[in-house]
C-alpha cells in the first residue's frame, strides 16, 4: 500500500529526474557543437587553444570534481542552473568579444558547464532513485542513451548548419559552399570571413539552446533533505582520514596498475578524440558537412555496441573484455590514420573505421567501472573513484599540452596522433590482461555502478 505522502514523493522524484534528463540532453546538444563546430572555429581564430583543447577538458574535469563538494551546501539545482548559464555566457562571449585572450576563459567555462553537468548525473540519479531497485538502472539508461542521441544529432546538424550559414553569408549554393570547405586554408579572404561568420551564427543558436536548459532546472522540486544527509556524511570524513585512505590505495599494486592503464587511455584519447573533424577536414580534405556526419555516426555506434556489453562481459569476463576491445580498436585507428591511401573510397572506408573504432572501444565502458571498483575495498571505493577521476584529469591536461606544444605544430601531427594512441592502447591492454587478470570475474547481474 502506498500512502498519499509516499505517492507524492515518488512523483516528485520522477519529476526531478525527468527535469534533469531534459537539461542533460540539451547539455549534450551543446556539447556536440562545442566538440565539433567550436573546436574547428578555434582552429581558425585561436589555433593555440584548439591544439591544446584536451588540456582545457582536463582542467574542467578537475574543477568539476571540486565543484561537487558544494552539493552538500547548496544542492544540485543551483549547480545545474550554473552549468547552463556558464555555457550560454561563454558562447555569447565568443561571438561578442572576438579576441584570442577571451577564448581561454570562454573555453574553460563552457567545458566546466558540460563536465559538471555530466559529473552530477550519477549522484543526482542515485539520490532520486533511492529504493527504486531496478528502476535506478532504467533511469541511468534513459539518461545515457538520450544524451548520446542528443550528441549525435548536434554533431551532425552543427556541420550542416555551418555550411548552410556559410552559403548564406557568401551568397553561394549549398553545394558550392560544401565544396569550398574541403580546402579551408585556400579560401579567399572574403570566403574565409563568410565561413567564420557562419560558424559564429551556429554558436549563437547554440547559446540560445543552452539558455533553454535553465528552464527545466528551475522546475526541479528540491528539498534540503535531498542533499543535507550527504553533508552530514561528508563532515564525518576528515581531510586527514581521506589522505590516509589515498595513501593506503596507492600502496596497493593492483590499484597503481589500474591507474597506469587509465592514465594511458586518457592520454591517448586526448590525442585524437577532440580533433576528428579537424583531421578529416584538413588532412583528408573531406567537406565540413560530411566530416561532421561521419563523426556523428560514430557516436551512434557507441549506443548500438553497448547493447552487447552484458553478453560480451558474461562470456569473456571484465578484464579480458577491456583488454581485447582495446586491441581490436587499434587496426581501425591505423586505417583512419592512412585514410588518404584509399583514394575515391576514403569517405566510406574511413567512415566505417570511425564507426567500428568508436563502437568497439566503448563496449568495455561498464566493465571499466566494474573493474575499478573490484580493485578497491568497499570502504575505499568513493576515495578511489575520486583518485581515478583526478588521474584522468591530469592525463588529459598533459595530453592537451603535448598536442598544443609538440604534436600539432604541423598538420601531419593530427595523423601521427593515431599511431601514438595505438601504441598507448596496446600497452594499456597488456597491463590489464596480464596485470589485472585475477579480477576477470564474470558478473551475474549488471550493478548500478556498471551502468
Is residue 451 pLDDT above 50, yes or no? no
Task: List Cα–Cα distances, 91 to 24, 200, 378, 421, in angstroms.
Answer: 18, 9, 42, 31
What is the percentage of the chain residues whose pLDDT exceeds 90? 41
Higher pLDDT among residues 110 and 253, named by residue? 110
Mean per-residue pLDDT, 123-150? 72
Higher pLDDT among residues 424 and 389, named by residue? 424
Dihedral sign for Cα 175, 179, 185, 186, please: negative
- pLDDT tier at 230, thresholds 50, 70, 90: very low
Position 166 scores a pLDDT of: 93
44-48, 117-121, 249-253, 442-446 — which one is most confidently predicted on average? 44-48
Residue with cell 562571449: 93
Burial of 53 (0-12, 13-18, 19+ CB in 10 A): buried
- What is the residue extent of each domain of the chain? 1-234, 237-451
Q: What is the dihedral of CA 325, 326, 331, 332, to 10 degrees?
A: 80
Q: Do domains 1-234 and 237-451 have the same CATH topology?
A: yes
Higher pLDDT among residues 98 and 232, named by residue? 98
Position 88 scores a pLDDT of: 95
Higher pLDDT among residues 239 and 63, named by residue? 63
Geometric angle at alpha carbon 443, from 440 and 448, rounded to 5°: 120
Higher pLDDT among residues 1 and 386, named by residue? 386
Output the nine-digit C-alpha cell for 346. Answer: 576514403
Is residue 445 pLDDT above 50, yes or no? no
Residue with cell 527535469: 19
Position 446 scores a pLDDT of: 41
313-361 pLDDT, tens digit per residue, is 888 888 898 999 999 999 999 999 999 999 999 999 999 999 999 999 9
Q: Give the DSSP H/E element, type plus range, for residue 211.
A: helix 189-212
Position 119 scores a pLDDT of: 78
CA distance 388 to 269: 16
183-187, 212-216, 447-451 — which one is most confidently predicted on average? 212-216
Is residue 46 pLDDT above 50, yes or no? yes
CA distance 7 to 28: 31
- pLDDT tier at 427, thresholds 50, 70, 90: very high
Higher pLDDT among residues 145 and 404, named by residue? 404
Tell the CATH topology of 237-451.
Growth Hormone; Chain: A; (1.20.1250)
Is residue 128 pLDDT above 70, yes or no? yes
Is residue 26 pLDDT above 80, yes or no? yes
Position 152 scores a pLDDT of: 84
64-83 pLDDT, tens digit per residue, is 877 877 777 888 889 999 99
- Under CATH, which number does the domain 1-234 receive? 1.20.1250.20
CA distance 28 to 209: 11
- pLDDT tier at 273, thresholds 50, 70, 90: confident
Mean per-residue pLDDT, 357-373? 79
Position 249 scores a pLDDT of: 65
Mean per-residue pLDDT, 9-36? 89
Greatest distance between any 2 Cα atoms in the chain? 73
Position 149 scores a pLDDT of: 82
Buried b (16+ CB within 10 A) or exposed e, 105-138: ebbbbbbbbbbbbbbbbbebbebbbeebeeebbe
Task: Give 3-state DSSP helix, strand, coil % of the chain, rounded to 5.
Answer: 85, 0, 15
Position 248 scores a pLDDT of: 66
Amino acid at each position: 500500500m502506498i500512502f498519499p505522502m509516499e505517492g507524492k514523493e515518488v512523483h516528485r522524484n520522477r519529476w526531478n529526474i525527468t527535469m534533469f534528463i531534459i537539461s542533460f540532453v540539451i547539455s549534450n546538444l551543446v556539447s556536440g557543437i562545442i566538440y565539433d563546430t567550436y573546436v574547428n572555429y578555434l582552429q581558425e581564430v585561436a589555433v593555440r587553444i584548439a591544439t591544446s583543447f584536451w588540456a582545457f577538458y582536463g582542467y574542467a574535469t578537475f574543477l568539476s570534481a571540486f565543484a561537487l563538494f558544494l552539493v552538500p551546501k547548496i544542492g544540485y539545482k543551483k549547480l545545474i542552473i550554473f552549468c547552463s548559464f556558464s555555457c550560454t555566457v561563454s558562447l555569447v562571449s565568443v561571438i561578442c568579444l572576438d579576441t584570442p585572450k577571451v577564448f581561454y576563459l570562454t573555453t574553460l567555462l563552457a567545458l566546466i558547464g558540460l563536465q559538471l553537468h555530466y559529473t552530477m548525473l550519477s549522484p543526482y540519479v542515485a539520490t532520486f532513485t533511492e529504493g527504486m531497485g531496478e528502476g535506478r538502472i532504467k533511469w541511468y539508461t534513459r539518461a545515457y542513451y538520450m544524451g548520446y542521441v542528443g550528441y549525435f544529432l548536434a554533431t551532425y546538424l552543427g556541420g550542416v548548419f555551418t555550411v548552410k550559414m556559410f552559403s548564406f553569408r557568401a551568397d553561394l549554393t549549398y553545394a558550392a559552399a560544401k565544396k569550398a570547405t574541403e580546402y579551408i586554408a585556400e579560401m579567399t579572404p572574403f570566403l574565409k570571413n563568410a565561413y567564420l561568420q557562419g560558424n559564429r551564427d551556429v554558436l549563437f543558436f547554440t547559446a540560445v539552446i543552452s539558455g533553454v536548459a535553465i528552464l527545466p532546472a528551475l522546475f526541479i522540486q528540491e528539498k534540503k533533505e535531498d542533499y543535507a544527509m550527504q553533508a552530514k556524511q561528508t563532515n564525518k570524513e576528515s581531510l586527514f582520514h581521506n589522505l590516509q585512505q589515498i595513501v593506503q590505495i596507492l600502496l596497493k599494486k593492483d590499484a597503481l596498475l589500474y591507474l597506469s592503464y587509465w592514465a594511458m587511455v586518457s592520454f591517448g584519447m586526448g590525442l585524437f578524440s577532440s580533433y576528428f573533424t579537424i583531421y578529416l577536414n584538413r588532412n583528408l580534405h573531406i567537406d565540413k558537412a560530411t566530416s561532421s556526419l561521419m563523426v556523428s555516426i560514430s557516436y551512434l555506434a557507441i549506443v548500438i555496441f553497448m547493447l552487447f556489453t552484458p553478453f560480451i562481459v558474461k562470456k569473456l569476463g571484465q578484464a579480458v573484455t577491456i583488454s581485447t576491445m582495446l586491441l581490436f580498436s587499434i587496426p581501425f585507428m591505423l586505417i583512419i590514420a592512412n585514410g588518404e591511401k584509399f583514394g575515391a573510397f576514403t569517405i566510406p572506408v574511413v567512415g566505417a573505421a570511425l564507426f567500428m573504432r568508436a563502437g568497439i572501444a566503448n563496449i568495455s565502458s561498464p566493465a571499466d567501472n566494474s573493474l575499478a571498483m573490484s580493485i578497491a575495498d568497499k570502504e575505499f571505493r568513493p576515495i578511489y573513484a575520486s583518485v581515478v577521476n583526478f588521474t584522468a584529469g591530469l592525463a588529459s591536461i598533459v595530453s592537451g599540452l603535448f598536442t598544443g606544444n609538440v604534436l600539432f605544430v604541423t598538420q601531419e601531427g593530427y595523423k601521427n596522433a593515431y599511431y601514438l594512441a595505438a601504441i598507448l592502447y596496446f600497452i594499456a591492454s597488456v597491463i590489464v590482461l596480464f596485470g589485472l587478470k585475477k579480477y576477470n570475474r564474470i558478473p551475474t547481474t549488471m550493478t548500478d555502478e556498471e551502468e
